[in-house]
Amino acid sequence: MARTSTTAPTLVGAYGVSVLHLPRSARLAAWGSALLSGRTDPATAVRAVVGSDEPHGVTGGEPLPGWQDTGPAGSPGAPGDPGGAPLAQLFAGLASAGARCLRVALPAPGDPAGLPGPAEFSAEAVEAGEAVLVDGELLLLDGVGRLGLVPHVSWFGSAWEPGAEVTWRVFPTWSPKAPDGTTLADADRSLRTGLTEATRVLAGLDVARWRDDAADRITAVRDGALATSELPPGCPDRAVRVVASAARVRAIVELASEDDGAAVSSSEALERARSLREVDGVARRALAVAVNAAAAELAGTAPQR
């Protein structure tokens, strides 16, 4: 099986010139919602979702109106579309089926994070660590139903020049479970606590002592900012701030998780790993809440305040 994606936002660039990137499903949910609401055009949305990947492919879209097999990722796209014919067609099919808003899910083993099922979809989403849910029932060719998408990622190249081939698999899904009631304000508050804890754990690891490049990397993480294309224009300011903070916390966790640091026993290493997982869980849930709040605002489906 192809290696699946990691959903921890990635920090790239020279130290001190750092850029944070969101999970692919977060980008698809935000930019897809903006496209479905007419706030952006297909070529711009496809470019933002694909980023530095090879052109994305889509499989399993047969229930969508007007769907045609466009072949694997890399099939030629429309003018101005970076080889993203499958993604552009996915957006068109979702629009024809009546989709208005997309949501991101960022599950983890033991934490399904709102996945509605069935089991096959949930298992694939947990393994990938991310998924996209299409809000509401759609008018599909085989009747009314709901859909979800999971990215499968194959990596190639080297550590210095990595590349990714991405295929989105379309799955039928069940009706969503009742929401957990977490608001953007709740996510913002929990994230501040998570950032404090992440910083404490990182300090406890004493990474600057046991890795020569750690001091520069810590600075890069703490100063990291979202790439401008990660979220569409028009997202609420608070949602953007929470997304950026969550991405920063997850990047700190990713750095701190690279090895056991100054741990002197297996129990100490296990406790540190547990603490990091908890911090990442807070940031992961906050990121999903913030992206979904932004998507709902873009789609015009946000609840009235």
Contact status, residue 257 vs residue 224, Cβ threshold 8 Å: no
In the chain, the number of structural domains is 2
In this structure, are 80 and 221 located in the same domain? no
In this structure, are 51 and 141 located in the same domain? yes
Tens digit of pLDDT for each residue in 125-184? 999 999 999 999 999 999 999 999 999 999 998 878 889 999 999 999 999 876 667 889
**Could you tell me if residue 7 is inside a domain?**
no
Residue after which a domain boundary falls, among 143, 173, 203: 173
Tens digit of pLDDT for each residue in 251-285? 878 877 776 655 556 777 787 778 788 888 999 99
In this structure, are 27 and 75 located in the same domain? yes
In this structure, are 201 and 266 located in the same domain? yes
55 C-beta neighbours (distance < 10 Å), count: 21
**Could you tell me if residue 8 is inside a domain?**
no
Residue after which a domain boundary falls, among 121, 140, 173: 173
pLDDT at site 291? 97
pLDDT at site 15? 45
In this prediction the pTM is 0.86
Buried/exposed 166-187: b ≥16 CB within 10 Å, e otherwise: bbbbbbebeebeeeeeeebeeb
Mean pLDDT, residues 273-301 taken together: 90
Share of the chain above pLDDT 70, in %: 76
**Could you tell me if residue 11 is inside a domain?**
no
Domain residue limits at 81: 23-173
In this structure, are 195 and 58 located in the same domain? no
**Could you tell me if residue 143 is inside a domain?**
yes
Residue after which a domain boundary falls, among 115, 144, 173: 173
